[in-house]
Amino acid sequence: MDADEPLSDDEIRAPFEPLLGAPMAVAVSGGADSMALMHIAQRALDLVPPTVEGMRLPGRPRLIVLTVDHGLRTGSADDAAWVVSRAEASGLPCRVLAWTGDKPTQGIQAAARAARYQLMHDALVEEARPYHNLVRPLLTAHHYEDQAETFLMRLARGSGIDGLSAMQETALIETATMPNGAYGVQLTVHRPLLDFPKSRLIATLKAADLEWREDPSNAHDDFERVRVRKALVTLAELGVTSDSIARSAS
């Protein structure tokens, strides 16, 4: 398959068929990966019929969008508002979740990731209350370059076999209790795009004439993942490709 070819309906159906029979949420930042996920998930809605009778409740959409305003840079609120506009233009309800309070000066990406999952967990528990506490799982847009980066980051820390298996297609994310003290459930995360390269996600967006916004922090060498991403270019010249690393992780 050409690395720059959009995803076909058959490729979309396969990973989404086990997921979209019931209501799901999709995490969208506005970047190419998550905008592709939103578009692909919406296409999957047309391809995958709802199958779980207990979750086909009146008034509950099968797919909702969550976007987080981390408040870490100027323009983050505008980016979140843009995601809302794109989601609503596609007929999907979207909610903005704001990370408020003091922010760390070190380990920013890890702290932002934890805050993001916590905010989404709390929002999904809240959303589930009118629907017999049936909490939606969350779709994220990790692809196989992300898998390769995670493998290398864990390799640098001396991880064992479990750690080097990197990201799984389905994971339970530990979160804290909700602000009012009520206990929710662990956040179930699905990563349906792990087997696809970013180039094909971008090709899918371009084929649909859709836009995306890049977070400028994704180019900052202060962050470990950015440094690893750039190192992958050099490794590829030595024959150590993202594809081969992701297959080793699998």
- pLDDT score for 219: 60
- pLDDT score for 25: 97
Helix/strand/coil (H/E/C) assignment for every residue in the chain: CCCCCCCCHHHHHHHHCCCCCCCEEEECCCCHHHHHHHHHHHHHHHHCCCCCHHHCCCCCCCEEEEEEECCCCCCHHHHHHHHHHHHHHCCCCEEEEECCCCCCCCCHHHHHHHHHHHHHHHHHHHHHHHHCCCCCCEECCCCHHHHHHHHHHHHHCCCCHHHHCCCCCEEEECCCCCCCCCCCCCEEEECCCCCCCHHHHHHHHHHCCCCCCCCHHHHCCCCHHHHHHHHHHHHHHCCCCHHHHHHHHC
- pLDDT score for 150: 79
Quote the pTM value.
Answer: 0.85
Which residue did the predictor score with more confidence, 128 or 21? 128
- pLDDT score for 49: 83
The percentage of residues in the chain with a pLDDT greater than 70, rounded to a whole number, is 88
